Amino acid sequence: MKTSLTGIKPTGIPHLGNYFGAIRPALELAQECRSIYFIADYHALTAERNPETLNAHIYDVTATWLACGLDPQRTIVFRQSSVIEVFELTWIFACIVATGQLERGHSYKDALAKGEAPNAGLLNYPLLMAADIILYDTDFVPVGNDQSQHLELARDIAIRMNHLYGEKTVVVPQAKLAATPQVPGLDGRKMSKSYGNSIPLIVASKELHELVIKIKSDSTPLEQPKEPEGAHAFELFKAIASKAESQEVARKLRAGGYGWGHLKKELFERLDSDLAPIRERYHDLRDDRKRLDDILENGAERARVKARETISRVRRAVGIDAKKP
């Protein structure tokens, strides 16, 4: 059985783009793989300076993924920071990666381009991510497009490790890009927290309704036929509804007499009924910190077993044998 692994950066409640683009595909992959899904708390520390916020976000995202259907019996769920072996592996990788390769990293370059003074954590971010992946002998990593460059680096590192230290030293991972089309935000650009155009996954009905109404649409009069493809409300509808339902809505739009307001009403109702159970489970879980801690600690224990196996194999391979004095 293959292993799928992904890291979830705790930066607050995920939005619908995260749900369709990352959470749902990762949960589907977990059905057919041995799965390891962790909260990347140390990755979040590159940008988060408020301890209370970081701590709260760790529980927010854990509760969200569980509410979306992540099964902690089947999937190993834990905090990245609970398995310290990942830092040993990060160092070993740091010693075989050229600094230039890290300097070409997207997020690092973007920060420089914005005139920021990026911290060393941001520069080394992809190294820690490669260690996250390779530590657990990962075959597949379900990620969004924005992470492909990091995945390429992880693959390069794995290939280089095997070239330097022997073919079976580590497993070479592979990205699993989600087939879901990009989910548009309220203004039609890609849904992203940084654009302020997102619809949160966990939100009260009333607020959800207000957001859906705000989705940008043109002013074609009600009676006139409309082109569904490319319309933001329709693209969002496509992401959540079945093919048959989307085709029916497309037919109504093209026929005329059916306005964007009608579509938004259908979209809201569909979203609200699909998200209501997730919302309810989320609130139950989020209020039960003990339960979340137990789940995360139980996952960490299982993750450590695997991590120790890999790290002792890698230490031996590079010539640092833990057993020798």
Residues that bind ligand TRP (CB under 6 A): 5-7, 9, 40, 43, 129, 132-133, 141, 143, 147, 150
Q: What is the DSSP string of 3-29?
A: EEEEEE--SSS-BHHHIIIIIHHHHHH
The closest residue (CB) to ligand TRP is 7
- Least Å distance, CB 154 to ligand TRP, is 8
- Least Å distance, CB 44 to ligand TRP, is 9
d(CA 60, CA 292): 10
14 token code pair? 């995920």
- Least Å distance, CB 53 to ligand TRP, is 17
Q: How far is CA 164 from the centre of its chain?
A: 31
How far is the first Cα of the chain from the last one, in angstroms, to the nearest whole number? 37
- Least Å distance, CB 317 to ligand TRP, is 22
- Least Å distance, CB 143 to ligand TRP, is 5
323 token code pair? 């057993």
Which residues share a beta bridge with 6?
37
Which residue lies nearer to ligand TRP by CB, 129 or 271?
A: 129
- Least Å distance, CB 144 to ligand TRP, is 7
Q: DSSP 3-state assignment of 38?
A: strand
Integer CA distances (angstroms), 241 to 226, 246, 281, 286, in order: 19, 6, 22, 28
Which residue lies nearer to ligand TRP by CB, 24 or 43?
A: 43
Integer CA distances (angstroms), 24 to 142, 179, 249, in order: 10, 11, 23
- Least Å distance, CB 40 to ligand TRP, is 4
Which residue lies nearer to ligand TRP by CB, 66 or 86?
A: 86
Tell me if 144 sits within 8 A of 119, measured CB to CB.
no
Q: Could you tell me which residues come within 8 angstroms of residue 216 by beta carbon, excluding any fewer than 6 positions away? A: 186, 187, 188, 232
- Least Å distance, CB 94 to ligand TRP, is 16
Which residue lies nearer to ligand TRP by CB, 3 or 147?
A: 147
Long-range contacts of 218-223 (CB under 8 A, 24+ apart): 218/260, 220/259, 220/260, 221/259, 222/257, 222/258, 222/259, 222/261, 223/256, 223/257
d(CA 113, CA 107): 10
Which residue lies nearer to ligand TRP by CB, 53 or 220?
A: 53
Q: Which among 205, 293, 204, 275 has a CA at the least distance from the CA of 236?
A: 275
Which residue lies nearer to ligand TRP by CB, 27 or 249?
A: 27
Which residue lies nearer to ligand TRP by CB, 9 or 286?
A: 9
What number of CA atoms fall less than 13 Å from residue 220's CA on the CB side? 20
Which residue lies nearer to ligand TRP by CB, 7 or 259?
A: 7
Which residue lies nearer to ligand TRP by CB, 101 or 273?
A: 101
- Least Å distance, CB 106 to ligand TRP, is 11
